[in-house]
Structure 1
Amino acid sequence: MTTPAPPAAAPTTTATPAVTIRSTAPPAPLRQLLPPDDGLRTLLHNEVHARPSARIRLPALVVFVAVLNEGITREEECAHLRRLPGQEGLTPADLADHFLRLRLGGYSLRWERHSEFTRYVLVQPLPEPAGLGADQPDLCSALAVDPDWLRNLPGRTVAAVQLAMVTHDIADPQAALALGQRWFGGRTIVASLMGNGHSIAVTNFRVREDGFERMLVIAPPGTSETRAGRISQRLLELETYRLMALRGLPVAKTLGPVLAEAEAGLAEVTAQLEARHTSEADLLDRLIHVAAGIERANAEHGYRFSATEAYHGIVRQRIGELRERAIPGTQTIGEFMQRRLSPAIATVSATAQRLAALSQRIERASALLRTRVDIATETQNQQLLAQLTRGQELQLNLQTTVEGLSIAAISYYVISLILYGGKALKSAGLPINPEMAAGALIPLVLWGVWKATQRIHARLHAGAGH
């Protein structure tokens, strides 16, 4: 039996507003939807946002200084940053992420700490006399920070760049480049149309008397602040990593004579090893001396060679990111840098490979010398075993001789005792001839002593077998 359906509701002319039912219970935290985070998840995820590009409003002056931070603590850098106006409350905890941006009334300062160097990037408005129509303008007198603060940065300067970013029509790159060359005092420059033509970068890669090298970016009016920030970051990183990559060149030049001397020493050891005129002890001493020098060079400079390779890889990447186009009659920045940088990097790479190859050659020579020592040791052991065998044979022969004499001596004493016993019995009245009895018992005594000796040998062998 089925239940009848309820009657349909009668239509009404008044519309009933829709009612939304909301739950009064608080929503469950989204973090509870996932398993617990790995300890490194947040750190690794935020690494992509660790050093964002600055937003630069054109025209602007970017003052960049990179200092080596070996022996410089984060606390020392924090103490120096506290000397800026309004930063008295800065603590080392604020520098824990290796990146800090300070906005200081009309200008900004970025601090970035890397494994080998620390970067300070000051972004301020470009002074009017330093515009595109100027001829070698003075940029140091218009710094937004105290020159003494800049001079006392903790560390040793490895790179310093004054990057002027101006706006100008670049529809005619040749005309814009002529103004840029005048800005550099008419000297030889290198320049590139970047980003397939969105701006022009000009430089001469020369350090001026004030310690800075200069770069000029000419961008069309309306260039966004984010694009200007990315342009400045790429150019400054390009120059920084170029100089850091070149730090392996002096090391490679210094190691050249050391490696040549080590190669000559190894060749001499190998020749003497082949000639067999020198003792193994002398060869081992010389080889250890050569190997110690090479291992020391590896320990002291291996990191520098690896760092040079890594920095050069970043330089190549940054050059590719510029997406350069040549301006007729002018060498591009990437072309100039690669032509001047490639020989130095090749020298460093060749030295690193030479050092590695020398280590392998020393290892092979050590193996040969070790084989020679093992063969000599085995020969000596065989000779010693042969001597021991001959000694054992002599000892066995001597032992057999002694045993024979011992049997005769023991038999003599036994016969003597029998003789004295027979004489005593004769004196007691027994009809015995002591001499005849002793003589008759000699074979029996000899056999008995010999048999007793054999039994002793058998017991000794049985005990040794167990």
Structure 2
Amino acid sequence: MPPIQDHPLRYQLANELHARPFPSLKAPCRAVYLAIKKAQDASSRDRAKDLAHLIALLDRYGTQHPQPGATHFTAAIGQHVLKWEQHTEFVSYTVFLAGLGERPFDPADFDVFPDDWLESAPGVRVTSAMIRICERADHDADVNLLANAWLVTESMAVSSVLDDAMIVAGDFRIDQGGHLRFAVFPRRGVGERRVGRVVQRLCEIETYKAMSMLGFTRVRAIAGRMTEIDEELTRLMTAMTHGDAPEEETLTALLRVSSELETLSAQTAFRLSATEAYEALVTQRIAVLREERCGGRQTFREFMARRFDPAMRTVKSAEKRLESMSARAVRAGDLLRTRVEVKRSAQNQDLLESMNHRADLQLRLQHTVEGLSVVAISYYAVSLVGYLLYPLADVIGMSKGMLTALAVPPVVLAVWLGLRRIRSAVEKDGHQPR
């Protein structure tokens, strides 16, 4: 095959598909999980601070550092294994511990993260979880008994996953230590990577669920103001319909409402779109588990349908409501602007008619003034002509009065023609394009 130039990103894009390998876990073992999000609502994190925080933890255990610009990293920290991943909005730490410990879900397992290191985290905890992985008993009833002893029965979800290869259980409640609890019971002989995939999926389901709920809290925070804006918009549209208020005042109020709606849309756009993406990830992660009912308990899908999906529908409803209100405000503003423009056009038409009437009156007055001007100019012109003709009166034997009388018609005619010619020249010059 002849040589061909590769795209500069070819290998980078191909390696991205394999950038976050699943852990390999051998039962029995434990895992502690921590997800940290930036405190303020932002579209991205300070990646340099995240990496520096990871290195600070690695230095506690004398572990090698990741490559500069790394977004994922796996290494041994003491007797445990750390998996670190950096995402758009959050960064996650998962530590895998061998064995089951002295007691189930022991809060002391979380001591793998030093207290002062946690206090210096560049953000806040969005979720944390403790996962217990132990071999599945011969009878599912024994698994249910264990799950009941560890989890809150009321909200517990238990499922047989991956063609009955494992049973997973969780209650999505925060225990006294501040963590969620999940239990995984793989059958004997199930591959270590398969167990690791399920544990990874559980961590992802919990994290994406928590990130999705941020959108729900954001919508709930602005729900009251949205209702007030909706009522104000309805009042303005009613006033516009009945004509109870001046159009200019109503238009100003509509523009103010539209501006506030656009501000709300801009402030919530990222969070609402992120919520939609996280919800899709939760649904997809649950789907790949291929759940089956176990021991008559609700599955993870059923738990989400009952508790999680209504919150997501609320977010979608609020987003659609916000879009609808913005569209209504824009349409109302357009209609009112059209009404104002039509009214102004009518006023302009009346003004033009009034100006035409005044122009007609001015033209008539001008004609009257021109007539008076002809008389006045003719009077002075006849006087001047008379002075010129008086010396001829004795020569031709005609009185001065007769000469003046004979000079009046041609002088008046000449003055009238002169003024007419001047007016025609002025009007012609006024109609020429500039």
Q: Does 1:457 align with 2:423?
A: yes
**Residue matched to 2:287:** 320
- 3-state SS of the aligned residue for 1:154? coil
Q: Does 1:34 align with 2:34?
A: no
Q: Does 1:167 align with 2:135?
A: yes
Do the aligned partners of 2:105 and 2:132 also contact (CA within 8 Å) in 1?
Answer: no
- 3-state SS of the aligned residue for 1:441? helix
Evaluate the alpha carbon distance shift between residue 406 and residue 147 of structure 1 in structure 2; reply closer, same or farther with a 3 A threshold.
closer
Amino acid at match of 1:310: A
Which of 226, 229, 240 aligns to 1:262? It is 229
**Residue matched to 2:187:** 220
Evaluate the alpha carbon distance shift between residue 441 and residue 174 of structure 1 in structure 2; reply closer, same or farther with a 3 A threshold.
same
Evaluate the alpha carbon distance shift between residue 249 and residue 327 of structure 1 in structure 2; reply closer, same or farther with a 3 A threshold.
same
After superposition, the CA RMSD in angstroms is: 2.4
Amino acid at match of 1:108: V
- 3-state SS of the aligned residue for 2:134? strand
Which of 66, 76, 84 aligns to 1:103? It is 76
Which of 35, 56, 62 aligns to 2:31? It is 62
Amino acid at match of 2:175: R
Deviation at 1:205, TM superposition (A): 1.6
CA distance in 1, matches of 2:166, 2:265: 44
Deviation at 1:405, TM superposition (A): 1.0
Evaluate the alpha carbon distance shift between residue 98 and residue 177 of structure 1 in structure 2; reply closer, same or farther with a 3 A threshold.
same
Deviation at 1:416, TM superposition (A): 0.5
Which of 292, 295, 299 aligns to 2:266? It is 299
Task: Kindly report which structure 2 residues correspond to 1:134-149, keeping only aligned pairs within 5 A, or say none.
Answer: 136-141=104-109, 143-149=111-117
Deviation at 1:426, TM superposition (A): 4.7
TM-score relative to the length of structure 2: 0.91
CA distance in 2, matches of 1:67, 1:329: 35
**Residue matched to 2:250:** 283
Deviation at 1:436, TM superposition (A): 0.5
Amino acid at match of 2:108: C
Amino acid at match of 1:444: P
Do the aligned partners of 2:75 and 2:81 also contact (CA within 8 Å) in 1?
Answer: yes
Deviation at 1:182, TM superposition (A): 2.8
Q: Compare 194-203 and 219-228 and name the one that shifted more.
A: 219-228
- 3-state SS of the aligned residue for 1:223? coil
- 3-state SS of the aligned residue for 1:110? strand
Amino acid at match of 1:439: A
Q: Deviations over 1:99-126 (max 9, x none)?
A: 1222224322122121111111111213
Deviation at 1:316, TM superposition (A): 0.7
Deviation at 1:219, TM superposition (A): 0.8
Stretches of structure 1 that go unaligned for 5 or more consecutive residues are 1-29, 131-135
**Residue matched to 1:250:** 217
**Residue matched to 1:26:** none
Q: Compare 404-413 and 43-52 and name the one that shifted more.
A: 43-52
Q: Does 1:370 align with 2:345?
A: no
CA distance in 2, matches of 1:122, 1:88: 14
CA distance in 2, matches of 1:185, 1:370: 60
Do the aligned partners of 2:72 and 2:86 also contact (CA within 8 Å) in 1?
Answer: yes
Amino acid at match of 1:457: R
Deviation at 1:80, TM superposition (A): 2.3
CA distance in 1, matches of 2:242, 2:52: 66
Do the aligned partners of 1:127 and 1:142 also contact (CA within 8 Å) in 2?
Answer: no
Q: Compare 281-290 and 155-164 and name the one that shifted more.
A: 281-290
CA distance in 1, matches of 2:339, 2:105: 73
CA distance in 2, matches of 1:375, 1:54: 70
Evaluate the alpha carbon distance shift between residue 438 and residue 461 of structure 1 in structure 2; reply closer, same or farther with a 3 A threshold.
same
Deviation at 1:148, TM superposition (A): 4.1
Q: Deviations over 1:72-96 (max 9, x none)?
A: 62332233222324557737xx252
Q: Compare 405-414 and 73-82 and name the one that shifted more.
A: 73-82
Amino acid at match of 1:100: F
Do the aligned partners of 1:193 and 1:325 also contact (CA within 8 Å) in 2?
Answer: yes
Evaluate the alpha carbon distance shift between residue 80 and residue 228 of structure 1 in structure 2; reply closer, same or farther with a 3 A threshold.
same
Amino acid at match of 1:166: C
Do the aligned partners of 2:219 and 2:315 also contact (CA within 8 Å) in 1?
Answer: yes
Do the aligned partners of 1:169 and 1:221 also contact (CA within 8 Å) in 2?
Answer: no
Deviation at 1:236, TM superposition (A): 0.7
Evaluate the alpha carbon distance shift between residue 266 and residue 189 of structure 1 in structure 2; reply closer, same or farther with a 3 A threshold.
closer
Deviation at 1:358, TM superposition (A): 0.6
Evaluate the alpha carbon distance shift between residue 161 and residue 404 of structure 1 in structure 2; reply closer, same or farther with a 3 A threshold.
same
CA distance in 1, matches of 2:197, 2:206: 14
Evaluate the alpha carbon distance shift between residue 421 and residue 154 of structure 1 in structure 2; reply closer, same or farther with a 3 A threshold.
closer
Do the aligned partners of 1:273 and 1:369 also contact (CA within 8 Å) in 2?
Answer: yes
CA distance in 1, matches of 2:201, 2:323: 34
Evaluate the alpha carbon distance shift between residue 424 and residue 277 of structure 1 in structure 2; reply closer, same or farther with a 3 A threshold.
farther
Which of 330, 339, 352 aligns to 1:385? It is 352
Deviation at 1:225, TM superposition (A): 1.7
Which of 76, 80, 90 aligns to 2:65? It is 90
**Residue matched to 1:17:** none
Q: Deviations over 1:326-363 (max 9, x none)?
A: 01321112211221111111111111111111111101
Q: Does 1:448 align with 2:429?
A: no
Deviation at 1:140, TM superposition (A): 1.7
Q: Does 1:407 align with 2:382?
A: no
**Residue matched to 1:237:** 204
Amino acid at match of 2:185: I
Instruction: Count the aligned residue pairs.
Output: 426
Q: Compare 344-353 and 327-336 and name the one that shifted more.
A: 327-336
